[in-house]
């Protein structure tokens, strides 16, 4: 995957169907682009270095937790050209999906979540993450 420009991630600070910004809080809730899934992401501790990404999914129509999906998280530094990295998020057995990744520097990160549900449909969500230096 190549890098994406800052303009590819709408700079929003509110709940939206496409993207939101996490700063200084480390938790954000967004809808997938099709509006079918509510995505809540917790980035802990949201600093330069190793971070734990925890994702919860809920069906937007019923509110029920989605626990059997395949999720890939892509991180892109938007302040300068750097390679996009990806990682799978694994179920933790308690209704959450989790993975660990390095954020190599502080700044504006674009997070893209690609979610495949059991019906093999793909859903996508975007979040801006502002990480302190």
Q: Which tens digit of pLDDT belongs to each residue from 27-55?
A: 999 999 999 999 999 999 999 999 999 99
List beta partners, residue 37. Answer: 59
In SS3 terms, 63-95 reads as: CCECCCCEEEEEEEECCCCCCCEEEEEEECCCC
Q: Give the C-alpha distances (Å, rounded to integers) separating 121 from 56, 59, 60, 109.
A: 18, 13, 15, 26
What pLDDT is attached to residue 118?
92
pLDDT tens digits for 69-112?
999 999 999 999 999 999 999 998 778 999 999 999 999 999 99
* Confidence band of 13 (pLDDT split at 50, 70, 90): very low
Distance CA 101, CA 59 (A): 26
What pLDDT is attached to residue 133?
82
- Say what the pTM is: 0.81
Give me the domains of the chain, ranges plus CATH numbers. Answer: 14-131 (2.60.40.1930)
């Amino acid at each position: 995957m190549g890098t994406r420009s800052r303009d590819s991630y709408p700079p929003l600070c509110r709940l939206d169907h496409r993207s939101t910004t996490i700063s200084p809080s480390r938790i954000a809730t967004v809808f997938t682009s099709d509006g079918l899934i509510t995505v809540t992401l917790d980035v802990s501790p949201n600093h330069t270095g190793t971070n734990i990404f925890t994702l919860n999914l809920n069906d937007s129509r019923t509110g029920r937790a989605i626990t059997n999906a395949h999720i890939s998280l892509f991180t892109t530094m938007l302040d300068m050209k750097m390679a996009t990295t990806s990682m799978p998020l694994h179920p933790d057995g308690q209704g959450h999906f989790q993975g660990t990744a390095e954020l190599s520097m502080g700044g504006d990160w674009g997070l893209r979540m690609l979610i495949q549900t059991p019906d093999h449909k793909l859903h996508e969500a975007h979040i801006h993450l502002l990480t302190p230096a």
